Each structure stands twice: as C-alpha cells, then as structure tokens.
Structure 1
Amino acid sequence: MTRPIPAFGDRTALIRDAVLLTAIGLFFGALGPFGSITAPALVRFIYWPGVILGGGVIGIAVDELGGRRFANPWLRWLFSSVVMTPGVCVLVVFASIWAFGPSPSRRYEVLIWQVFVISVAVMGVRQLIEKRPAPTAAPAPSDEAFRQRLSAKHRAARLIAVEAEDHYLRVHTDLGSELISLRFSDALGELAGVTGFQVHRSWWAAADAIEGVRWRRGRGELRLAGGLVAPVSRTHAAGLKAAGWF
C-alpha cells in the first residue's frame, strides 16, 4: 500500500511541496531549457521558480479537487497532468511576456506539449515522493484460544470481563454471560494479547469495556459496558492508574 497524497490542510505536505517545486524551478533556471539559457541568469532564476511554483499550485489544486476520485495512482497522475496543462499554459504565456518580451512567432501547440511534459514530470516526482511504504501494522491482539472455550452464541460477542467463581469462570459478553471450566490464571495467560486489566484477584476487564472508575477509601469500583460493576483492589489498581483512569 501507499499513502494517499495529503490534502491542503496538511502543513508538512505543503512545505514539502513548496521545497520540491522551488528546487525544480532552480534546476530549470540553471539548465535554461527551451531557449531560456540566452536570458540573463537573474531572469531565469526568477522566471523558472515562479512558473514551476505557480504551475505546481494549479496542479496540486487539480489533484486534490479532482484527482482523488481515482483509486489508481497512475490514472490520478495522468488526469492531474492533463487537466492542469491549459491553466499552466496561460501562466507561462504571461510569465514569458514579462521575462522575455512578446513572441509573435510562438507556436502554441508546441507550448502545450512542453507544458504537458513538464507537468507530467513535476507531478510524477511529487507522487513518487509520496509513494513510501505505509508502516506495517502490528498484529491484532488475539484471544482466539480463549474464545474457542465459549459457546457458539458468545464466541463472536464483545468480551467485557472475566470473573472467577470457585473452580469456574463467568465470562461476561454483550450477549450475556456463561460459565466455563478454566483456572483464572490460565485465562489470564490466554488473554495476555488482549488490552485489558486484572482489577481484582478474581476479575479481569477488557479495556474497551471500561466506562468509568470510582475510588473511595481505599476501594474501587469499575463500571463496565452493559451496567456491569467489578471491584478494584488496591493491589491491582496500579494498571488502571497508569492508564489514566484515576
């Protein structure tokens, strides 16, 4: 996968684009393509960065407003390059008149082709910079072994809490609860990959099921989804405290 090109609100992306376009403009200023090498250096180093920056703004606007409809990044690149070309041509005509004076012999079909080629190159470089591999997602926490102990009704339900009752465990879910035969310590081992807290010697609670914590006179209560309430012992309160619950 590749990251999508950030929108206008991304300040880092805007700064990166501005630096990229300025660098390309300075490169063209030094190279002096399409006969501009005959112009004074100062003119070239004003003309080319200005044209590339201005054209880049047009291209980025086209890309953000219209290119996003294309899931294929290469179709998006081609669309943006084609659609931006007429607007950039107008910019180039006025910038060229300012920098080099009127040119009655200018062939506009050649200008369109030149602008299109540069647009393809600039937008391509911009897209290639954005084609960095996305960070590899961490494996999702797994409680598959524990869930296999549950009935079919509760196996796919949202896990809320596990409560020890003598030699059994009561597993609380959003579809109700059921008793299973398993030691509490073994259940904690099977739930080690799930984000949750042991809050009492006989209770474990899923982190995403916690709705609130009340602590009073050395004792605590955990309010869980579905109206369930679990005790919080002083011994096991540290994990909740570290997570910012109180």
Structure 2
Amino acid sequence: MNRETEDGGRARVRRWAVDLAILVAIGLLMGFLGPFESAHLPAGPRYLYWMICMVGGGVIGVAADEFPGRRPAGLWTRAFAVSLLTTPLVTLLVLTTQHGLFGGPFGWSGYRMLLWQVFPILLAVMAVRALVWRSPPARIETRTVIAPPLPEAEATFRRRLSAKRRGARLIALEAHDHYVKVHTDAGVELIALRFADALQDLSRAHGWRVHRSWWVAADAVEAVRWRRGAGEVHLIGGLKVPTSRTHGPVLKQAGWF
C-alpha cells in the first residue's frame, strides 16, 4: 500500500468519524426536544429511539451520498436528491424501530404516514452535513511585485547625497520649503533642493508621489491604509506617510487598496 492510498484511507476514516459525531449530536438534540409526540415517553427509551433513527438513518443517507458515481451538482440539489432517494429505506428503519421498542403497528398505513415525517428531517440532516463539508470559497490573493530600481534611474539624485548615504536604500523624500529631507536606511539627511527638482531626478525611479510633500520608494512600502478619501502609507523602518486624495490613485493602480 503506497503513501497516497494510506492518506486517502485515513481521510475517509476521519470523515466518517465527523459524520457520526454530527449524527450523534442531532440524535441527542432530538431526544431532548422530543418532537412528534415523543416527549411523553420516558427519557431512556426516547433517547434510544431517536439515536437509532438519527444515527441509523443518517448513515444510510451518508452511504448513499458517498456512493461512487455521478452526483448532482449544487449543495441543495444534492442534499435534496439524496434525501428523496433514501427516505423509503430510512422510513422502514423508523417504522421497525417503533415496532420493536414500543410495539407500534407495522403496516402500510403507518409507513405511508411516516414518509412525510422522515423526509423533512432527513433533508435537514443532509443539509447540515453538506454545510459542514462544503468547500471553502476560493481565495485569490493579489500582491504587488516591485522590480528593483535601475541604478541609473537614481544616479543623478544620489550624487546630491553625502558619501555616507549615497549608497543607502531610499525610503522617502519629504519637502521642507527649499529643502528636501531624504529618508534612507542609513538615516535622514537634509539637502538644499526644491522638491520639484528632486521629483525630476527620480522621474524614472520606482516610486510614487503620494502627497504634495512626500515621495515614497515603491520597494519601501509595507502597507497602505485608505479611508474616506485619505490614507496613510506604512514604510519600512516604521515611517508613516500621509496620502492625499489627489495622489492616492497611483497606489490604487499599483494594487495597494
């Protein structure tokens, strides 16, 4: 026996264990509620009756649902079809249990009357089971992939920095009157430069102007928060940069919100 067969066998055992647990829980609930005039019965026989009916009838339904072959598509269609198909056999089980435990009549008239009681209960049981085993909705994740910046795209701007930060990783630029504060992973540096000129130097770099006073490097963005026409960009190193309604669309186009 290969590994794949063993895993498949274990999965079937676990699935049946969960199914039996569901049926036992429903049987206990029905014994507690005592529907269809069973509430007047003593507790012991009442619980025994509902456990036999719910577990036994449920096993018949589960076996039919798991039987190899073409199955109806759709959650509710499948539950309805299995319930309709197995109701006659489950009704026979219920009738036999009533006759054996309580000495009730065993005949066609009683069987016909039970059919209309068994079907809705069996349908509810199969619907609960179908919901438990339903496949989770497909989850599609999108992620923005940022290509590393081309060295020549930042070369002009980097020549304006001190030797200590010329080779550092750019994180953001912040406008300060006729100066620009440059945030890097090697610290912050203030240089005498108009913000417009800094943007011109970095026009081919991987980054975005997200505010009238801020430019951020694309590969430094960790998260974007957007609410009611304004937002905030979270950058590496814990830096948080405001995002305006005017410049927010560039982040939306990049897939950040």
Rg larger for? 2
TM-score, with structure 1 as normaliser: 0.49
TM-score, with structure 2 as normaliser: 0.47
